[in-house]
A and B are shown apart, each in its own frame.
Chain A
Amino acid sequence: MKTRVLLVDDEEQFVEQLSERLKIREYDVSACYSGEEAVEQIKQYLYDVVILDVAMPGMDGNEVLKHIKEQRPLTEVIMLTGHATVESAISGMKLGAFDYLMKPCDTDELTRKIDNAYQRKAEQEERIRTAKAEQYQTSPWSALGDKK
């Protein structure tokens, strides 16, 4: 299955061009152009990795990150920043972002980070599956609790 990527940046042309490049590299890419739109998308759909611009009008990258981590804690986030906002990107890392990149970024570096982020998400999911399987073995009734 392709890695599901959501690209969030208010620079529409940047998003369009980068989306195309990531699609060529076999990623399943969706795009949105504001923090508010991103939060709605995250509620409705599952993404493996979100690439998130730090400085956007309205809801900024760190606010969006908080929403993502509340709603989809396993979704990994890579922050995109111009130099002026490196400190915001670092505070994003403290809030649980996987990594950050300076804009404009090298595409190979970006795809490497997307792949690493996806890998971490997959490992986390695997650990959760294993823990649940152990839980069901020791306490089969807990499976019913999970289905509620």
Chain B
Amino acid sequence: MNPETEKTLTFFGKMTANLTHEVKNVLAIIQESAGLMEDITAICPLTEKKYQEKFNRSMATIKQQLHRGIDLTTQFNRFAHTPDRASAELNLVDTVGQFCLLTERFARLKHIGLTAGEPPANERIRLTTNPVQFYMALFFSLESCLTALPADTEIRITPQKKGGKSPAIEYACTGDHLPPAEEFFQQLQAADAWSELREMIGQLQGEVECDTNDLRFWLIF
């Protein structure tokens, strides 16, 4: 990555991290205000039961959405810090979980499911790499899959150790409406994002391995 690009990324990272920090402050105030309303009605419930029930349901929705907002901003804040270092040790389980949370909407818009898979026996898999480029490789892989898959299918991204030692990320596509493997891989490789992935994985000194029988591929590092 050239120094100008690095500077730009660092700038965007700082602005985004700052903003997510502010959003977390906003969410904190909403959370405490909603919590206070809940505390007060617990001490002194509304006189009509049906209104108290409506109040409780509404409060439950606020709390649920607050948790969603807090989770998203927390993960996005972490993501905004990725350009801080040119090389860092990543916990791939956390990184993939975070990536799926932040990109799930891209899949949802195409009616495709996206989940982070668990490595066997909660294995801890770590990789020292350029965090921004690693995220880009994950994203180009996802984008390629979204181009090649129809609606009502699912993508599962799982960190694992390929051959028992090399850190790897598996992309496995499942569902009732999957195209034949040959067609899937043809479309995958025709996607613009796939060429970007090839270039990025080269820069990261990794490789892509495909299982043409099972609609799976791996990014191996």
> Which residues of A are interface residues toward B (Cβ below 8 A)?
11, 13-14, 17-18, 20-21, 24, 55, 82-84, 102-105, 107
Q: For the complex, what is the distance from the CA of A21 to the CA of B70, rounded to whole Å?
A: 20
- Contacting residues, chain B, for A82 (C-beta < 8 A): 21, 24-25, 77
Q: How far is the CB of B67 from chain A (nearest CB, A)?
A: 10
Interface size on B, residues (CB 8 A): 23
* A-contacting residues, B191-213, CB 8 Å: none
State whether A103 and B35 are in contact (beta carbons under 8 Å apart), knowing that A11-B29, A13-B29, A24-B43 are contacts in the complex: no
Tell whether, in the assembled complex, residue A14 and residue B29 are in contact, meaning their CB atoms are under 8 Å apart.
Answer: yes
DSSP majority for the A interface?
Answer: helix
State whether A14 and B77 are in contact (beta carbons under 8 Å apart), knowing that A24-B43, A103-B25, A104-B24 are contacts in the complex: no
In-complex Cβ contact of A104 among B18, B43, B70 (8 A) = B70
- Further 6 A-B residue pairs, CB within 8 A, beyond A11-B28, A83-B20, A84-B17: A21-B35, A24-B40, A83-B78, A84-B21, A84-B77, A104-B31
State whether A21 and B32 are in contact (beta carbons under 8 Å apart), knowing that A83-B77, A83-B78 are contacts in the complex: yes
Q: Which residue of B lies closest to A53 (CB)?
A: B25
Tell whether, in the assembled complex, residue A103 and residue B24 are in contact, meaning their CB atoms are under 8 Å apart.
Answer: yes
Flag B63-107 by CB within 8 Å of A: 1 or 0 each: 000100010001001100100000000000000000000000000
- Contacting residues, chain A, for B39 (C-beta < 8 A): 20-21, 24
10 A–B contacts, CB within 8 A, in A order: A20-B39, A24-B39, A82-B25, A83-B20, A83-B24, A84-B17, A103-B28, A104-B24, A104-B27, A104-B32
